[in-house]
Amino acid sequence: MDYKNLFKPIKIGKTYVKNRIALAPMNDLHQFYNPEEGTINRRWVDYFTERAKGGVGLIITGAFKVEDEITRFRQNDINIWALLKRKSIQNYSELNKYAHTYGAKVFIQLTAGPGRVMSGLSIDQGFEPISASATPAFFRPETICRPLEIREVDKLVDAFGKAAEIVRDAGFDGIEVHGHEGYLIDQFVTKIWNKRKDKYGGDLDGRLTFPKNILKAIRNAVGDELTVIYRYGGKHFLKDFNTGTLKVDEIEVGRDLEESIEIAKRLEAAGYDGLHIDCGCYESVYWAHPPTYMPEGVLLDYSSSIKKAVNIPVIGVGKLGNPAIAESALAENKIDMIALGRDLLSDPEWPNKVFLGKEKEIRRCIGCHECMYLAETGKYLTCAVNPFCGNENIVTFKEIDSPKNVAIIGGGVAGMESARILKIRGHNVQVFEKKDHLGGHLLPAARPEIKSDLRYLVDWYEHEMKKHKIDIHFNKNFTLDELDDEEFDVYIVATGSEAIELNVRGIDKSKVASSIEIINGEKKLTGRLAIIGGGVEGCETAISLASKGQEVIIIEKLKDVARGIHRANKAMILEMLKELSIPIYTSATAMEVNGDELKIYNQKSEVVTEKIDGIVVSIGMKPVNKLYYDLIERGKVAHLIGDGYKPGKIADAVWQATMLCTEL
């Protein structure tokens, strides 16, 4: 396919950008910030420089607060957003120097702060949430936000002007004003959150006073030296206060598309140089951060409608990592630029690979949001499929003294990633896979329609195995007998995991299957099915079956379902379960099966009975690792990784394989 539109230059304000590909702003790489002062460190520079090397035309940084008195907050003693400070000009300017060397332009995103979506932990620590009006805090609805006084809003406006001077002096090309996703500026613009009667409230013009005055403050400070764009949502997808919706035709109580179009016209008239359009807010987080369950190009209709109403450039975002979809959106004049977020975490070389016609080599984002989940849980952050993300110049391929002969037992994610890295580094690699195909548990995980993003990872690994000419032995169950035939220097055991069996009195095993067996089509159960286990796998299996007309119920022993994932993915799972009317028992245990009756001990300490025709087991996996311990007993150099070490996520398998094989 010809991608000529993706690589056409574009002018935004006074800024010429070499192509139509922008790095979307993301705020989750908290290890880039000094936890005491919110200032940035060298890893921040390295991270963005890597994306500039990869060919992106425009970098938009994550949000920087312009002040820390009115909107002061912390979480777990960490400033989640960096505070723009003149003392960091050295690092800011260093980034701009490197980015400009590779032909990229850099806009810094400036924010007024979270307002009513301040973290619950921050509120618990005594920080006061503020907003445009007295409205419940999102994470602590029992806490009412304090409305900002006019003098405080004016002070915030002035802070944007002072910040613009730092931005100019640091060599940035422009500013993106952070007006989206229900954060503080958006709270002023949106009538459901803004009930003010002063100059910062009232009708749409009054509610737009804040972002208009921000632009005036920037222009008064630096003139037209900086390009200034505004990011906001084309639709909030709010069906009620604090309640989001997946339905596009639901009555909107937040901002609808019609109002967004009017906002675009007024922002253009006010002098903004461009617009960056997403959708959603905290209540409908799955629109703001589309998970794997969302279709590709999911927000294009909204950015396209807004583009028709204005003459300034419009940047579109929302699962545009498929180069064909991105190119078509530009060719059809739906948007002027595309913004990629997580796709440039998983593969910073996306632009260069598309330009060179190497689309099959792009390691696509799988929509798992592990990057954001790690951030919100305060853990070390990286990308699930690209551990080098956030670790640029820290995790690198080490030179080898001499090639080793390495046996990799198991062709799942951990095995394939190990083989790929070791072969690139120059080792002699053989993969032993007991089945007639690679992929392990990745294959059934990618089969449901709602998990189609994972198919890109399956395809990518298949391409990588062929590209690097990995020696693979299929239908080969590696045993200790192999040691007599060929001696290897190192054994990497990636033998994976198997489903834990359900132990319930009276169960008929002919009417029981694991989630993997059901998804793979290895077993078929009919009638009304009880899914035992409400983790992510159990919920996704329930949704997949119910979408095809199967009647299912979920029984989960813990107090909630779909744990251990980012709230965008979890919120969408819960919404899909609700739309499909799937009954869910939490804090419940399957006790006994008697014919077609399943007795359940529920959260009210009662025994209830459900009529069922079969049981789908999704209570977790157990490692398969006997071979590893046998090798160790033989005195062999062996390493255990992936599910064989501990059943986990794709991210765990890739991380372990990468950390081991970049050093081996």
Instruction: Compute the Cα dihedral for 637, 643, 648, 653 and give only its sign.
Output: positive
Q: Do 483 and 513 share a domain, yes or no?
A: no
pLDDT over 70 for what percent of the chain? 97
Q: Do 607 and 632 share a domain, yes or no?
A: no
Q: Which of 343, 365, 387 is the last residue of a domain?
A: 365
Helix (H, G, I), strand (E, B) or coil at 227: strand
Return the closest-CA partner of residue 111 out of 151, 75, 61: 61
Instruction: Answer whether residue 180 shows pLDDT above 70.
Output: yes
Buried b (16+ CB within 10 A) or exposed e, 220-231: ebbeeebbbbbb
d(CA 540, CA 293): 10
Q: Do 56 and 149 share a domain, yes or no?
A: yes
Q: Do 188 and 156 share a domain, yes or no?
A: yes
Query: Which spans in 398-475 are helix H?
Result: 413-425, 442-446, 453-467
pLDDT band at 372 (very low <50, low <70, confident <90, very high): confident
Q: Do 356 and 294 share a domain, yes or no?
A: yes
Considering the candidates 183, 232, 286, 293, report the single residue annotated as catalytic: 183
Tens digit of each residue's pLDDT (9 = 90 or more) over 6-40: 999 999 999 999 999 999 998 766 667 775 565 78
Is 379 part of any domain?
A: no
Structural domain harbouring 463: 405-498+622-661
For 367, 464, 473, 636, 638, the CA distances from 628, given in Å and listed in that order, are: 32, 26, 19, 9, 7
Instruction: Answer whether residue 664 shows pLDDT above 60.
Output: yes
Instruction: Answer whether residue 141 shows pLDDT above 80.
Output: yes
Q: Do 186 and 105 share a domain, yes or no?
A: yes
Q: Do 343 and 430 share a domain, yes or no?
A: no
d(CA 215, CA 221): 10
> Can you give the pLDDT at residue 505?
87
- CATH number of the domain that 354 lies in? 3.20.20.70
pTM recorded for the entire structure: 0.95
Query: The sheet that has 490-493: what strands, in order across it?
Result: 471-473, 428-432, 405-409, 490-493, 638-640
Taking residues 79-83, report their average pLDDT. Answer: 72
Is 32 part of any domain?
A: yes
pLDDT band at 1 (very low <50, low <70, confident <90, very high): confident
Taking residues 253-271, report their average pLDDT. Answer: 98
Is 167 part of any domain?
A: yes
Is 230 part of any domain?
A: yes
Tens digit of each residue's pLDDT (9 = 90 or more) over 404-451: 999 999 999 999 999 999 999 999 999 999 999 999 999 999 999 899
Query: Which spans in 190-229 are helix H?
Result: 204-207, 209-222
> Can you give the pLDDT at residue 263?
98
Q: Do 569 and 647 share a domain, yes or no?
A: no
Tens digit of each residue's pLDDT (9 = 90 or more) over 54-72: 999 999 999 999 998 898 7
Instruction: Answer whether residue 344 shows pLDDT above 90.
Output: yes
Tens digit of each residue's pLDDT (9 = 90 or more) over 528-554: 999 999 999 999 999 999 999 999 999
pLDDT band at 328 (very low <50, low <70, confident <90, very high): very high
Taking residues 277-297, report their average pLDDT. Answer: 97
Q: Do 70 and 180 share a domain, yes or no?
A: yes
Q: Which of 334, 365, 396 is the last residue of a domain?
A: 365
What's the number of domains the chain is made of? 3
Q: What's the DSSP call for residue 319?
A: S
More confident residue, 551 or 87: 551
Is 381 part of any domain?
A: no
Q: Which of 337, 365, 393 is the last residue of a domain?
A: 365
Taking residues 206-211, report their average pLDDT. Answer: 98
d(CA 659, CA 400): 15
> Can you give the pLDDT at residue 31?
66
Q: Do 51 and 183 share a domain, yes or no?
A: yes
> Can you give the pLDDT at residue 506?
87
Please list, in sequence order, all residues whose beta carbon lies within 8 angstroms of the beta carbon of residue 543, skipping any fewer than 6 positions away: 448, 450, 573, 576, 577, 580, 582
Is 5 part of any domain?
A: no
> Can you give the pLDDT at residue 373?
87
- CATH number of the domain that 612 lies in? 3.50.50.60
Q: Do 592 and 626 share a domain, yes or no?
A: no
Instruction: Answer whether residue 79 shows pLDDT above 60.
Output: no
Instruction: Answer whether residue 78 shows pLDDT above 70.
Output: no
Is 2 part of any domain?
A: no
> Can you give the pLDDT at residue 75?
59
Return the closest-CA partner of residue 288 out of 232, 216, 335, 328: 232
> Can you give the pLDDT at residue 28?
61
> Can you give the pLDDT at residue 30?
60
Tens digit of each residue's pLDDT (9 = 90 or more) over 213-245: 999 999 999 999 999 999 999 999 999 988 999
Is 388 part of any domain?
A: no
Taking residues 355-363, report their average pLDDT. Answer: 96
Instruction: Answer whether residue 361 shows pLDDT above 80.
Output: yes
More confident residue, 194 or 377: 194
Residue with tokens 């975490």: 345
Taking residues 503-507, report their average pLDDT. Answer: 87
- CATH number of the domain that 441 lies in? 3.40.50.720
Tens digit of each residue's pLDDT (9 = 90 or more) over 373-414: 887 777 777 899 999 999 998 888 988 989 999 999 999 999
| Cα atoms found within 13 Å of the Cα of residue 456, Cβ hemisphere only | 22
> Can you give the pLDDT at residue 421?
97
> Can you give the pLDDT at residue 29?
60
Q: Do 636 and 614 share a domain, yes or no?
A: no
Residue 16 a catalytic site member: no
> Can you give the pLDDT at residue 242?
87
